[in-house]
Amino acid sequence: MLSRTRSLTVLFTSVIILLTGHGLQLTLLPLRAESLGWSINDIGMTGSFYFLGFLLGCIFIPRFVAAVGHIRTFSTLTTINGAALLCILLSDDPYVWSGLRMATGIGISGCYLVIESWLNEYTDNARRGRILGIYTVIVLLSMSVGQLLINLGSPAETTTIVLGTLLLSLSIIPVALSKVEQPAPLAQLEFRFKDIYHASPAAVGGALAVGTVTGALFGLTPVFGKVAGLSVSDIAWLMIVMVLGGAAFQLPAGYVSDRYDRRKVMMGLLLIGIITAIAGVILSQPPAWAVMLLFFIIGGSAIAIYPLCLAHANDRYPGHFLQVGTVILMVNGTGSIAGPLLGANAMDQIGPAGFLAYLAAGLTLCLIWILIWLIKHPQPPENTNQFVGTAKSTQALIEMDPRTEAGAPLSEREVD
């Protein structure tokens, strides 16, 4: 037990250092690009390449882990993360940045995957849900601290970039100097898109549509704040309240969805988000506190849809949670790639109100899609499992979810 606790402590320490640096760069890079005089569309392009890299990492990093092991993979990826961020100082070209941000996306998703598979290996079945909850809290708090570090220097200066590089690079130290044993290699999961789509088109399409909203939120909210006249400190808090909104909305929505049709719960959340975004469009230059309230609600509504889609698809296709989770993760990630490009174009054409209008449109599209399938299939599936609040990450986090078949590490389970 002591050895297992020590191993978890080492892994959590690496997570804290890594995601503090990652949280910093999420806000820093869009603001630095804006200070260089880039167009909003160029900034949106770099955000889309980040999400493209994240998706590619989810697909290909498991093969790299199988070839060289967890520690070597994590060491390589943290080096890539730090180098990519530092290379931002060497060029002001949006296309160069796009390549660097794609490398960062690959590196971050790979680091998530390695850490989460490690956590799964050192978590017994009785504590699986508890460890998942602790991990989610650590992720949120670490990224929030990272957002606040933006106040240590101007985005146009080198201080915060160097700090972010140091944090991303230093995250390897706890793991490299520990005696944590490497888990078994990650297995390749089967991507059953067709089967899962036919079982739950509302969840698959809903995850894709809401991905276009959350991708825009994470990729462009700092730019929105800057264009809306917020200070750098206010922009950091804007990102924090948006993420905390997602955390705050998940558990109440999940509790209700365990008792009623999950699709109706998703529609209720989406309607709240749509009304809030439209209110933001109507308001003329709201104060900073009002903008934060708007994004707390919009972020909460949008971010909470992903775990509900995951739960609904699992109800429709029970007994295959790993395959279900992988499909929902991938389609949501695909939507996230398009989100920054579409949101940037709307903001470029109309201004801050255009970004809010885009968010309202994306949430409306998701609402319509789910409504169509609610009408076609009015009978809800039996809620086969209790809702589990979770952040969108990698397939390794899906594996750690207590709803996963048999609740055992993938290396000890048969994958259909």
Would you tell me how many other CB atoms lie within 10 Å of the CB of residue 176? 14
Alpha helix positions (H), 69-93: 70-87
Domain boundary among the residues 114, 143, 176 is at: 176
Domain harbouring 344, CATH code:
1.20.1250.20
| 165 and 222 inside one domain | no
| 156 and 228 inside one domain | no
Residue bearing the bigger pLDDT, 4 or 97 = 97
| 265 and 393 inside one domain | yes
Is residue 13 situated within a structural domain? yes
How much is the average pLDDT of 117-132? 69
Query: Above 90 in pLDDT, residue 114?
Result: no
Is residue 188 situated within a structural domain? no
| 235 and 288 inside one domain | yes
Query: Above 80 in pLDDT, residue 411?
Result: no
Q: 232-288 pLDDT, tens per residue?
A: 999 999 999 998 898 888 888 888 888 888 899 999 999 999 999 999 999 878 889
Q: Using CA atoms, how far apart are residues 104 and 269, in angstroms rounded to an integer?
A: 32
| 163 and 201 inside one domain | no
The parent domain of residue 302 ranges over 193-406
Give the count of domains, the chain.
2
Amino acid 325: pLDDT: 79
Query: Above 90 in pLDDT, residue 210?
Result: yes
| 226 and 332 inside one domain | yes
| 73 and 160 inside one domain | yes
- Which stretch of 139-143, 196-200, 380-384 has the lowest confidence by average pLDDT? 380-384
Give this prediction's pTM: 0.87
Q: 10-58 pLDDT, tens per residue?
A: 888 998 999 999 999 999 999 999 999 999 999 999 999 999 998 898 8
Q: Using CA atoms, how far apart are residues 246 and 309, in angstroms rounded to an integer?
A: 14
Amino acid 406: pLDDT: 41
Is residue 165 situated within a structural domain? yes
Domain boundary among the residues 125, 151, 176 is at: 176
Amino acid 407: pLDDT: 42
Report the share of the chain in percent with pLDDT over 70.
Answer: 85
| 69 and 212 inside one domain | no
**Per-chain mean pLDDT for the chain:** 85
Is residue 187 situated within a structural domain? no
| 129 and 24 inside one domain | yes
| 375 and 254 inside one domain | yes
User: Which span out of 42-56, 117-131, 319-333, 372-386 was modeled with the highest average pLDDT?
Assistant: 42-56
DSSP three-state, residue 384: coil
Is residue 182 situated within a structural domain? no
Residue bearing the bigger pLDDT, 133 or 299 = 299
| 21 and 141 inside one domain | yes
Is residue 347 situated within a structural domain? yes
Amino acid 380: pLDDT: 74
Is residue 274 situated within a structural domain? yes
pLDDT band of 219, cuts 50, 70, 90: very high
- Residue 24's alpha-carbon distances to 27, 77, 172, 319, in angstroms, are 6, 18, 18, 39
Place of tokens 């719960």: 265
Is residue 311 situated within a structural domain? yes
| 250 and 154 inside one domain | no
Amino acid 386: pLDDT: 66
